[in-house]
Structure formats: C-alpha cells, structure tokens
Amino acid sequence: MRIAVVHKDRCHSRKCGTECILYCPRVRTGDETVIIGEDGKAVISEELCVGCGICVKKCPFEAIDIVSLPEELEQPTHRYGVNGFALYGLPIPVEGKVTGILGANGIGKSTAVKILSGQLTPNLGIFDRTAGWEEILREYTGTELFDYLLTISTKKLKVAVKPQYIDYIPRVFSGTAGELLASTDERGRLGNYISALTLEPVLDSDIATLSGGELQRVAIAACLARDADFYFLDEITPFLDIYQRMAAATLIRELAASRPIVIVEHDLAILDMLADTVHVAYGKPAVFGVITQPKGVRVGINQYLEGYLPEENVRFREYPVVFEKRAHEKQAERETLLEFPKMEKRYDRFRLVVGAGDISAGEVLGLVGANGIGKSTFARLLAGVEEPDGGPVELNARVSYKPQYLKATCSDTVEFFLRQSSRTFDTPIYQHDIIEPLSLGPILQSPVDTLSGGELQRVAIAACLSRDADLYILDEPSAHLDVEQRVRITRMFRHHADGRGAAILVIDHDIYLIDMISERILVFDGEPGISGEATGPFGMREGMNRFLSRLGVTFRRDRSGRPRINKPGSYLDRDQKAGGEYYYYTEDQV
Ligand code: ADP
Ligand code: ADP
Ligand code: MG
C-alpha cells in the first residue's frame, strides 16, 4: 500500500517545468499517472503510480511525497481529498480518564479531535460519494470507538478546546483577562482555577498586554471552566515554567475525575503524570498519520522513546532515546573554557545576583528556574547584549546567542538568512549536522517572516549553531517544538559541543531535555519578578536536588532510566523527601 501526497501550497506548476510529468516513466509509456488539475496543482493517480519516486526527487519545490504505508493499515479514517493527508485510527476519549496523544506535529492530532467533536465527518478516504454515518459505524463495529462514534452521529457534543496557538486569542477577543474568564464560568469553578493558576494579578489587564505565560494560563482556565461533554487541550506547557506546568496538570487531573479529557503534550514528564493512557501517533508529518490503540502511559512513553511499537510491529525511528548513565563522567577531564565573575543587574523592580562560576570546554550546561527569575537576563549578560551593573565583563570567549523571544522581521528566505551566519552552508557536514536534524529542507525557500513558531525556532537554533563561537547560549529552544524535534535537538547539541570543544548553555523547562542534555546545571532561585539569585554550576545530582526541593517534587527513575514524577504524598515521594533525594540516582549515576 502506497500513498501519494501533493503539498498544494508548495506545488507551482506554472513556475516549474512540470518535471513530475516530464520524468514520470509511466507517463512516458502513455498513462495519465500525473496530470495538472483544474487548480493548477499536480494530481497523481495512486492506482497507476509504481512508486519509483522520480517525481519526488525532480520536483523543484519538494511538493510531492510518495510513501509506503505499514502493512497493517487498511482504510483511512479520513483523507483531505485526492493526494491529501491521510489519517488512520482515532483516539478514544474515556469517561474519568485523561487520554494523551503522543507524537510529532502535522500527524493528524487536530484532525482527529475535529472528528471526535463532530466538527468533521470522517470520509473513510472515499471522495466520489459521501460515506454516511451508517457506513462509518459499520467500519467501526466491534471496536472501542463504536459507542463514541454512535454518540457523535446522533447528537452534537459540546467540546471545550484549549488551542495550540494562543497568540490568536487577543485577535478575536478584546477586553480584560477577567472579562474573558467570566464568560466561561459555566460550572462555578472559575474562582478555584484563577487562584490555582495565580491569575489574580492579571485579571484587570487587557488581554493584548499579557505575556505568553499569562495568556497560556488564562486559556487553560477558560477551557476548564466550561461545562462540556469533553475537553481537548492542545499543549498546556508552552511559556510555562515547571511550577506552573505542575499546577495546570493537577487541575486537569481533578477535572478528569468526572469528564473525558484528551490532551496533546510534548513535555513528556508532564504527559507522564497527566495522562492515564496514551495513543502514540506516528507517520510522516503532512503526509499520513496513524493513531495507535491506547497504551498505558508508562508503556506508551517508553515505546515512543524506544522508537518501536511491538503491538503494531512498527519501527518509526532508527535510534532509541536513552537516558544515559550520565555523560558528565567526562566532566573531570574537561578544561575550563571561561570563568565569569560575580555579577549584579538591577532593573526598576527586579534585581539579579549571580555568583562567580566557570564553564568547561565541551560541556552542555543546563539552566533551570522559575519564570521571571532572571534566566534570560543572565543569558544577555553573558552574551554581552547587556552590561552588568558596574561595567562590562570581559569573558574572552566568542558567544553565539539565541534569545528566548524570536522576531521574524525580514522577508529574506531561510536559505539566504542561514548563509549569512555560515560559510559552510554548501558542505555535506552542514546538511548532515544542521539542515537534516532540524528538517529545514522544505522551508529553505520560505521567507523568514512567514514561518510558524516552530519553524522560526528551528531556523533560530540553526543560525545560532552555524556561527563560529566558544559558547553557545540557547534560551528556551524547546518552545514550539514537538517531542520528536526535542529529541533531535538534544542529540544535536551534545554532538555540537563535543565535536568542537565549545560549550553550550541551555535554558529550558522541559525536565527530560535538561536531564538528557546537561552535564552540570546552574540553578536560579528567588522571588519571580522581584529578585533572583544564580548559583552553580553544580553536578546534576546536587543541582537537581536544589531545584526540585524548592518545587516540592520528587522524581524516581524507571528501569529504562527515565525519570518519572512521584505522585505527591506517595510512599516514594515521602521516602525520597526524607532522604533529601529529590532526583533519584542509582549508585552508578552519581
Ligand atoms: P497535528 O494536529 O498533528 O499537527 P493536523 O491534524 O492539524 O496535525 O494536520 C495534519 C495534516 O493535515 C497537516 O499537515 C495538513 O497537511 C493536513 N490538513 C489539515 N487540515 C487540512 C485541511 N483543512 N485541508 C487539507 N489538508 C489539511
Ligand atoms: P526569566 O528568563 O527567568 O523568565 P527574565 O530575565 O526575562 O526572567 O526577567 C526577570 C525579571 O526582570 C522580570 O521580572 C522582568 O520583568 C524583568 N526585566 C527583564 N528585562 C528587563 C528590562 N529590560 N527592564 C526592566 N525589567 C526587566
Ligand atoms: Mg526567560
């Protein structure tokens, strides 16, 4: 089984030599395997296509994908027209449970939710007639989904949605955060959500003036406060620090006691504590997506990290993701790259104090702490973008810096932009080390100011790593990236530091990313928005203990080495707290 997908936004038959038709061996023998449709876009006949892949290579705009599907797949649940994206399977919302969907973006998660909420009637991949509900139900007879589909075929379900991109909210709503929230208070629970998410200080603020983290918490409260048949939250963690992630997760778990909830989440530590079951979503973004049967959350995440699904007999990634028994064994051998002095920085209302510290050549240094505690300020001091009080510091190191907030102001193409920061753009190494892991190939010709948040993040990471430097500083690189892209940047950063004796400093809230990537960590503590103090760098064990003890959260490791959040008040939680082991290490992981 094979499908051919034409990405219409990238197909410009008037600007190319219609190479897809010209070079198709079947067309040469007289078949109409590829034609140009009425809309000027290529149409590929899946019946006639032999899957030689020549058109895929010849298309100058990378507009065609032809892929073989895993054998087990039969009929798609939905397909967006001929040569459109195909979705297989569906997640099943369950009363009293949080159902997670775990997988890359562009793999059909939102499409699945549109079907579950009744906004989109699935077409089973049939375009020449309308597949009625009767046919759809027949297709799902005997499956766990049957009852659910029967319900949506007969009645309109009310769904409350927390959308993935929250930045559009100020465009559709004008008024204060308090006004927006008041309109959603359908179960009388709003007050509780406002205090649990510490939203009191922003209730009188205009929605348009909120920070990303504030807007995210408003959006979560607004979704949970509704009275709905099911709740869908598409990523709750962007812009939130780990304290806020935990608070939001706790509220969702409470609501799940009485309502079905479906979530998409790329922070796996949070997904792990939040979901009861997960459906792994795999496939090829924008081409096809498969949603597996539900798996227990522990097993599902482990299979995902392994890159292999035993029940489905599918390997969807060539390598497993491992939580290594500490790469920081190397720390002892590392030479000091730079030493930074004690620094202070005062703003009108905020004061940061940084203790003197050092950074080693070849290491990846993690940086953790709450929002508003001075992490980005510290990054700017090191990068020389800002001076500490009392004058500039001389670090004797070339610094390449990716700021937290990215602005796409130029209309140059991605390729043009990247060529400005690298002289090696045309080399195979650049392709292999930068372009491929960040999947930049398809967007090289896109103007920078048309990119989505995730695309812009990947381009900014590429530009940062492209420069020649001794110290690379990346402020929140996981923001807007899906779980698969996070896995890739983790490997990339380690490789980058190791290979050139440079150091990489990563600020992030994703605990798995920090755990996988860091050899040592810097810990930020204080009172958000008022004062911050940076200490360290510490070894992982000491640093994580310092950080997590303030959070009051303990982690254990399962057999695969993966950290898992202990349930608050559970035996392990109490035991580890008593022993001061907030981040559990076995003997050989010290
Ligand atoms: P996810 O939520 O996993 O990011 P989506 O369900 O939003 O994925 O989209 C999966 C793919 O389906 C997209 O990459 C896009 O190619 C395609 N798609 C989504 N909506 C439409 C549509 N209305 N018409 C045609 N194709 C669409
Ligand atoms: P973090 O990165 O840990 O979230 P930041 O370093 O961005 O924190 O900010 C710490 C505090 O300093 C915040 O309260 C912020 O409002 C304040 N701040 C940051 N930059 C400036 C500035 N240029 N002028 C005044 N206050 C600032
Ligand atoms: Mg910051």
Write down the pLDDT at residue 332: 66
Write down the pLDDT at residue 590: 39
Testing ligand 2's pocket by substitution, the residue of 343, 353, 377, 506 carrying the most ligand atoms inside 8 A of its CB is 377
Measure the CA–CA gap between 556 and 560, rounded to whole angstroms.
11
Write down the pLDDT at residue 587: 47
Measure the CA–CA gap between 344 and 353, rounded to whole angstroms.
5
Residue with tokens 């709750």: 236
How many angstroms is it from 371 CA to the middle of ligand 2? 9
Which domains does the chain possess? 2-68 (3.30.70.20), 78-308 (3.40.50.300), 336-553 (3.40.50.300), 556-590 (no CATH)
Q: Crossing angle, helix 453-466 and helix 483-500, to 10 degrees?
A: 10
The residues, ordered by sequence, that sit 6+ positions from 436 with a Cβ below 8 Å of its Cβ are: none
Question: Nearest to residue 268, comparing CAs of 587, 499, 558?
Answer: 558
Would you tell me how many other CB atoms lie within 10 Å of the CB of residue 571? 9
Q: Residue 384 in 3-state DSSP?
A: coil
**What's the burial of 148, exposed, middle or buried (CB within 10 Å: 0-12/13-18/19+)?**
buried
SS3 content of the chain, % helix, strand, coil (to 5): 35, 20, 45
For residue 537, whether the previous peptide bond is cis, meaning omega lies within 30 degrees of 0, is yes
Write down the pLDDT at residue 585: 64
Question: Nearest to residue 139, comparing CAs of 119, 113, 121, 114?
Answer: 121
Write down the pLDDT at residue 324: 64
For the chain, list residues with pLDDT below 50.
Answer: 587-590
Write down the pLDDT at residue 149: 87
DSSP 508: -
Write down the pLDDT at residue 265: 94
Pair 573, 564: CB distance under 8 Å: no
How many angstroms is it from 406 CA to the middle of ligand 3? 12
How many angstroms is it from 519 CA to the middle of ligand 1? 38
Write down the pLDDT at residue 562: 86
Q: Tens digits of per-residue pLDDT, 391-449?
A: 888 888 899 999 888 888 788 999 999 999 888 899 999 999 999 999 998 888 889 98
The H or E element spanning position 456 is helix 453-466
How many angstroms is it from 244 CA to the middle of ligand 3? 14
Distances (CA, A) of 173 to 168, 179, 217, 227, 238: 9, 10, 16, 20, 20
Minimum CA distance residue for ligand 2 atom 12: 350
Pair 372, 529: CB distance under 8 Å: yes
Tokens matching residue 283: 């496939």
Tokens matching residue 575: 């035991």
- In this structure, what is the dihedral angle of CA atoms 188, 191, 194, 200, given to the nearest 10 degrees? 140
Determine the atom of ligand 2 nearest the C-alpha atom of 369: 3
Determine the atom of ligand 2 nearest the C-alpha atom of 524: 3
Measure the CA–CA gap between 40 and 498, rounded to whole angstroms.
49
Testing ligand 1's pocket by substitution, the residue of 64, 85, 87, 121 carrying the most ligand atoms inside 8 A of its CB is 85
Question: Nearest to residue 329, comparing CAs of 363, 368, 367, 366?
Answer: 363
pTM over 0.85: yes
Query: Ligand 2: residues whose CB is within 6 Å?
Result: 347-348, 350, 369, 371-377, 529
Pair 176, 204: CB distance under 8 Å: yes
How many angstroms is it from 349 CA to the middle of ligand 3? 16
The H or E element spanning position 233 is strand 230-234
How many angstroms is it from 475 CA to the middle of ligand 3? 7
Write down the pLDDT at residue 588: 47
Write down the pLDDT at residue 452: 85
The H or E element spanning position 343 is strand 343-346
Measure the CA–CA gap between 574 and 362, rounded to whole angstroms.
37
Write down the pLDDT at residue 288: 95
DSSP 374: S
Write down the pLDDT at residue 327: 52
